[in-house]
Copies of this chain bind each other. A is one copy, B any other.
Amino acid sequence: MRPTVNDIAREAGVSLATVDRVLNERPGVRPRTVQVVTEAIARIGYVRDLAAANLARGRSYRIACLLPDTESQFLATVEQAIHDAAAAAVVSRTEVETLRFPAEDPHALVAILAGLQAQGISGVAIMAPETPHLRDAIRSLRHAGVAVVALVSDLPNTGRDHFIGIDNVTAGRTAGVLMGRFLSGNPGQIMVVAQSLLSRDALERRRGFDAVVQADFPGLEVLQTLEAHGSPDILRRAVFEMSRHAPQLRGVYVLGSGHRVIGAALADLGLARRVVVIGHEMTPHTRNALQSGTIDALVTQNTGHLARSALRVLRARIDRVPIDEGQEQIRIDIVLRENLPPMAEDPGQTPRAKPDEAA
């Protein structure tokens, strides 16, 4: 049988109350006694039963996930993944609340964060660009004992507990080497398309991509990044315009969204399936495009893993137990048509009527 607190008490020759004080770091125990108990714990190999502990504590994990209100298929996918992970986490007394905040207004986000603290939230997963306001807000949360993880895009200077996502420079490098190898040394131009280079992710990917292409595929010329700023029209025209100046266009690298428009433009230019298209993130659209061959490869991060990892890490932090680094390492997935994972089934095993009822 697994040793229990009573076994510790017997082994250490102290009472249960003292063991409890030591285990939960309550005051009023002599250093010597603490040591005796600690040694007994080590000797008999006691491991706290977290399930029982949390049951006794009456602890329930209230977790908030904050996403920008930007409309994008990737964000929708992330939100769906969080929703699914939340549904699965109900059995382990975890309540998840997903909130969208106005992407343009840093103050709104700060206000929401301040509100959460009052609501008894014990963990926050947040996907947002790093601003000074946000830095302060996160510090304040952490100071109040709230666990905070950055999702998808890191917040390195905020003191967040953990970053759940991939290194976008490496993701860009991966896209770069795929592009180079798919074109195997044949010279030509590569078009790079982004919504905006203001986003940290896009910038980092471009950096990684450039580094690899320059170093390993000298025949390839990476053109200046096209920025669409969210407008399909601008994007479409830019693709047409640039293709005129690229007589040997051999590849297109899509840093973020915009696949739909780009695909259509390439088709109109007669380039569909004649240039190598590499993009990021799995969405319903990129999935279809990969299947139909209009996209050749995707460099992705598994959103399901992302969401589950966020919840697991937050719970671990709240419980003050170590995390399993290997499990929480988000991999950079290369997806071709051949290894496209099958479509996920409908996951809701216990759909809750009102996920946000407990306000």
Interface residues of chain A, those whose CB is within 8 Å of chain B, are 2, 45, 47-52, 54-55, 60, 84, 88, 90-93, 170-171, 173-174, 176-178, 181-184, 186, 212, 296, 299, 302, 304, 308, 321-322, 324-327, 329, 331-339, 341-342, 344-345, 347, 349-350, 352-353
Contacts and interface: CB of A to CB of B under 8 A. Distances in A.
Contacts of A322: 349
A325 B344 contact: yes
Contacts of A326: 84, 304, 344-345, 347
Contacts of A92: 50-51
Nearest to A322: B349
Nearest to A345: B325
A321 to B, nearest CB: 7
A327 B339 contact: no
Given A55-B55, A308-B327, A325-B345, A336 B334 contact: yes
A339 B45 CA distance: 38
Given A2-B60, A47-B90, A47-B350, A170 B327 contact: no
A333 B336 contact: no
B331 A334 contact: no
Nearest to A346: B325
Contacts of A176: 338
A214 B302 CA distance: 31
Given A324-B347, A326-B344, A331-B339, 14 more contacts: A2-B93, A45-B352, A47-B350, A49-B91, A84-B326, A88-B327, A182-B182, A183-B184, A212-B338, A299-B339, A329-B342, A331-B333, A331-B341, A334-B334
A2 B92 CA distance: 11
29 contacts: A2-B60, A47-B91, A47-B350, A48-B91, A49-B91, A52-B55, A84-B324, A170-B338, A171-B339, A173-B339, A174-B339, A176-B338, A177-B337, A177-B338, A181-B296, A212-B338, A299-B339, A304-B326, A304-B327, A308-B327, A324-B349, A326-B347, A329-B342, A331-B333, A332-B339, A333-B334, A334-B335, A334-B336, A334-B339
Closest 10 CB pairs of A and B: A51-B51, A334-B334, A332-B339, A174-B339, A184-B184, A174-B338, A173-B338, A304-B326, A177-B338, A322-B349
